Structure 1
Amino acid sequence: MSASAAAQEAAMALPPVDAVPTVLCVDDEPNILSSLRRLLRPAGYKVLVAESGAAGLAILEQQPVDLVISDMRMPEMDGARFLALVCQRWPRTIRLLLTGYADIQSILDAINCGEIYRYITKPWDDNDLLLVVRHALERRALEQEKLRLEALTQRQNEQLKALNQGLEARVEERTRQLKTMHEAAVAANDKLKQNFVTTIKVISSMLEMRGGNLSGHARQVADLARRVAGHLKLDGKEVQDIFIAGLLHDLGKIGFSDDMLATPLTMLHGDALGLFRKHPARAEQLLMPLQDLRGTAAILRAQLERFDGNGFPDGLVGLQIPIGARILALAVDYYNLQQGAMVQRHLRPDEAKSLILDASGKRYDPNVVQAFRQLVDGGAGEEAPGGVEVLSGELVPGMALARDLVSREGLMLLAADHVLDPRMIQQVQDFEAKSGNRLAIWVKPFKSTP
């Protein structure tokens, strides 16, 4: 048994502190026992008497006793021997010795073996004896209360330890739950962002179907604008707004007639030119209800502004123009010049580049022109797609697209990052078979499961 458990058991075995104290008087002289009984009972004590040490031990075995008063000189078993046995068997019982003046050695034996609290000489003074008994019992009560409080403290500490362990376990479990919920929320948010961009790409493809541009024109503009923004070290949110603005740069032209869409910008005059100049503001109005596209809407509104202040619709000058609009204007013109949307003939890439460089500081921001020139001159005019190109027959479930899967007509079939499953792979293969054209399929590095 541990020390703490033994202390608790001992404290629980003791009678309550406020119980009537029990005093056992042991003496071979009946008159002494009677005197002690008459003295102690009126003081509020329960008094038991025994005429020998053996009788006293028998009483102790039957009931608890708080204090023992034993005579020294008794036949068969003297007080020192009796008190020594009491000390061994009932150590928490207070022990007092009655003795004569000449019993010095007996007193020493009782002190050493019986560990008595006090000794009282015969004849005793009643008040002194009562005072000694009272002080002895008070001391025992204090020790008993101390043991009780120690046992209570031990139990409470063990309960607190158990509660702390349970609390730690609950905290760990709740932490794991919150981490799982957070990871699920992050994954859901990433999925929403991916779906959002995919939706924008679908809308962009729908605009191209009517605009007469070459397939993939909006994606080319958006990609160039994004790379210029990255070269200028803009933050992630600005880069995304610029990329989306590139995809939707023709959104305001949705109400144009087919003839107007097919007419180069330099051939527009009068009302047609005025209507064309309003398309950025119309694009902004269409996107205004979407809180997440407010930045993109501001870029689209300012895409026809000029660095020298001669643009539309607000006549902004220089750095008053949003940086995204300054980038978008260059990217749109670079590809429009090559596709005949600005002038009556299709320019070569180097001719389009030359016109843009000549307009630096007039139509375009010189810093944006410099970034564009570094990208083009560095061989980055067309960024190589990431991942590995594969045939449709090489597709396996679990592969993720490294770039958008686009049809020959420019329609986006699947967005980048889409994870292929068996049903989608079959649809891609069926599309190729029916169209008679091989798709350019780029997937991220993939390790098949053995």
Structure 2
Amino acid sequence: MTILCVDDEPNILSALRRLLRGKGYQVLTADSGAEGLELLAQQPVDLVISDMRMPVMDGARFLAQVRERWPGTVRLLLTGYSDVQSIQDAINCGEIYRYITKPWDDNDLLLIVRHALERRALEQDKLRLEALTRQQNEELRLLNASLEQKVEQRTHQLKANFLTTIKILSGIAEMRGSSLPGHTRQVAELARRIAVQLKLEAREVQDVFIAGLLHDLGRIGFADDVLRTPVTALQGDALAQYRKHPVRAEHLLMPLADLAGTAAIVRHQLERFDGQGFPDRQLGFAIPIGARILALAADYYNLQQGALVQRHLRAEEAKSLILDGAGKRYDPAVVQAFRQVVDGGVRGVAEAHDLELLSGELVPGMVLSRDVVSRDGLMLLAADHVLDARMIQQLQDFEKKSGSRLPIFVQRSRVDAA
């Protein structure tokens, strides 16, 4: 520990130097406040002992400058019994730790010095620990931010992969069925847009969309003749089998906890708003809202494909039958939302933020906003895929071999960035 003694009397300085060096302290001396400040500027000092009465700069002024420039240095004042006002000045201006009266008792002075230095050491430890804590907290904050970002990215990737798997499964079921290529995507997209129009929560919209992709999953085991027969022409065991396909699909989805909401929607897709549906004859609003939406979306396209009745209806004819079914087969509120969607009253979320490009306009770094689907319904790439040069070339090659242009939509926000 280094101690600086400042006094204009040489004998006082000698006595202090002798006393303090005997206890192992490094002692510096100065005969004026100005010299003391010079020494402090040259090397670190742990404690200063200054006389009060000195010419030019008294102890109070000297210690005040020490406090201002080296606040971590402990300050002690030597003074006589009669210097009450001087002591007050030193306390107010220099914020001294203690004052020592002359003549001093050696043991008392050494005890004061030791306590002062111990206090300084504690304060420095406290400051060091606080600084270390702040540093560690900042490092922890940055680590948490990094981990949260990585978890978010990983979660997004897992969700994207999960949805892609569902789309592939949907495509397999569609290939087994009698529907036209892309049927399940049409149903899923219409159901999603109706759900958005009804202002359902994001999770409910997602469940409705996935239910649209998987709504025919329970028909994958149907015989070919049953798949080819319109519903209105089914009889006996074939009709009973058809009415059970939503429950079969629900059972297939039960092991996937994340699809519990979707499974409930799929189960009740054949329920009617008037309570005359299957499998549970639920009535009105007791039917899950997602199932009320899916029932309408699936019927709209099934009517056009001849899957419900024995002829293919035009879109306007299918729409008219849907509107006539309000309050009977369909929820009137869902019918109204459907009407707004097909009449152009609402755009899909992707439509509002994506841009259709030719394959020759694609550049690496662009992000697909929709699935890239071939004319025969084969999904080539899933939405959210980040394009690279190799993938762009493969899309261009596919177009050349198939002789048809692929519908390719990318995120608008990533076009400029790419």
The reply to whether TM is greater than 0.5 is yes
Q: Compared with structure 1, are the counterparts of its residues 147 and 269 closer, same or farther at alpha carbon in structure 2 (3 Å cutoff)?
A: same
Q: What are the superposed Cα offsets for residues 402-423 of structure 1, whole Å, 9 maximum, x if unpaired?
A: 2110011011100112111122
Q: How far apart are 1:379 and its partner, in Å?
A: 5.4
2:312 counterpart SS class: coil
Report the Cα offset of residue 117 of structure 1: 7.9
Per-residue CA deviation, residues 407-448 of structure 1 (Å, 9 max, x unaligned), is 110111001121111221122122122222221222223126
Instruction: Find the partner of 1:328 among 288, 294, 310.
Output: 294
Residue matched to 1:141: 107
1:74 is aligned to: none
* Residue 177 of structure 1, CA deviation: 1.0
Distance in 2 of aligned mates of 1:62 and 1:356? 105
2:265 is aligned to: 299
CA 1:147–1:339: 2 relative to 1, 3 Å: same
Instruction: Give the aligned CA root-mean-square deviation in angstroms.
Output: 3.1
Counterpart check, 1:427 vs 2:400:
no
Find out whether 1:277 has 2:246 as its counterpart: no
Aligned residue number for residue 230 of structure 1: 196
Q: 1:406 aligns with which of 364, 373, 380?
A: 373
Q: Deviations over 1:79-117 (max 9, x none)?
A: xxxxxxxxxxxx999xxxxxxxxxxxxxxxxxxxx9888
Which residue of structure 1 lines up, in the alignment, with residue 383 of structure 2?
416
Aligned to 1:265: 231
Give the TM-score of the pair, scaled to structure 2. 0.74
- Structure 2 CA distance for partners of 1:61 and 1:208, relative to 1, 3 Å: closer
Partner of 2:63: none
Q: Deviation per CA, 1:219-277: give whole Å up to 9, x if none.
A: 11111111111111111111100100001010000101122111110110000000000
Residue in structure 2 matched with residue 104 of structure 1 by the alignment: none
Whole-Å separation in 2 of the counterparts to 1:394 and 1:62: 86
CA contact (8 A) 2:249 2:267 kept: yes
Comparing 384-393 with 240-249, greater Cα deviation is found at 384-393
Please name the residue that 1:78 is paired with. none
Q: Which has the larger radius of gyration?
A: 1
Counterpart of 1:352, as a letter, is: A
For 1:423, what is the secondary structure of its paired residue?
Answer: helix
State how far apart, in whole Å, the 2-side matches of 1:236 and 1:136 are.
81
Give the deviation of 1:391 after TM superposition.
2.1
2:278 matched residue in structure 1: 312
**Which residue of the partner structure matches residue 99 of structure 1?**
none
Q: Partner of 1:442 in structure 2?
A: 409
CA distance in 1, matches of 2:341, 2:210: 20
Counterparts in 2 of 1:62 and 1:313: CA distance versus 1, 3 Å: closer
Give 5+ residue unaligned stretches, structure 1.
Answer: 11-55, 66-90, 94-113, 119-134
- Alpha-carbon contact 2:197-2:346 (below 8 Å) kept: no
TM-fit CA distance, 1:140: 4.9
The whole-number CA distance in structure 2 between the counterparts of 1:378 and 1:358 is 20
Matches for 1:4-403 after TM superposition, within 5 Å: 8=3, 64=19, 140-378=106-344, 385=351, 386-403=353-370
Letter of the 2:416 counterpart: K
1:284 alignment partner, SS class: helix
Aligned residue for 2:409, secondary structure, equals: strand
TM-score (norm. length: structure 1) = 0.69
1:331, CA displacement in angstroms? 0.6
Give the distance between the partners of 1:424 and 1:226, measured in 2 at CA: 28
Quote the offset at 1:286 in angstroms: 0.0
In the alignment, is the contact (CA less than 8 A) between 2:193 and 2:348 conserved in 1?
A: no
Task: Find the aligned partners of 2:133 and 2:167 in 1 and give their Cα distance.
Answer: 50
Report the CA distance shift for 1:62/1:140 in structure 2 as closer, same or farther (over 3 A).
closer
Q: Identity over aligned residues, as a percent? A: 56
Q: How far did 1:359 drift? A: 1.3
1:64 shift after superposition: 4.4
The code of the aligned residue for 1:290 comes to L
* SS of 1:442 mapped into structure 2: strand
**How far apart in 2 are the matches of 1:384 and 1:237?**
16
Paired AA for residue 320 in structure 1: A
The 1:116–1:299 alpha-carbon spacing in structure 2 relative to 1, beyond 3 Å, is closer
Task: Decide whether the 8 Å contact of 2:211 with 2:265 is kept in 1.
Answer: yes
Structure 2 vs 1, CA of residues 380 and 351 (structure 1 numbering), >3 Å: closer, same or farther?
A: farther
Q: AA paired with 2:326?
A: S
Q: After superposition, what is the alpha-carbon deviation per residue over 1:143-168, rounded to whole angstroms, capped at 9, x for unaligned?
A: 43223212211122122212211221
- Aligned-pair distance for 1:300? 0.5
What letter matches 1:414 in structure 2?
A: L
Give deviations 1:303-333, integer Å, cap 9, x for gaps: 0111111111111111111111011001100
1:378 offset after TM fit, Å? 3.7
* 4+ runs deviating over 6 angstroms: 59-62, 114-118, 135-138, 381-384
C-alpha separation in 1, matches of 2:232 and 2:292: 21
Q: What SS does the corresponding residue of 2:327 show, helix, strand or coil?
A: coil
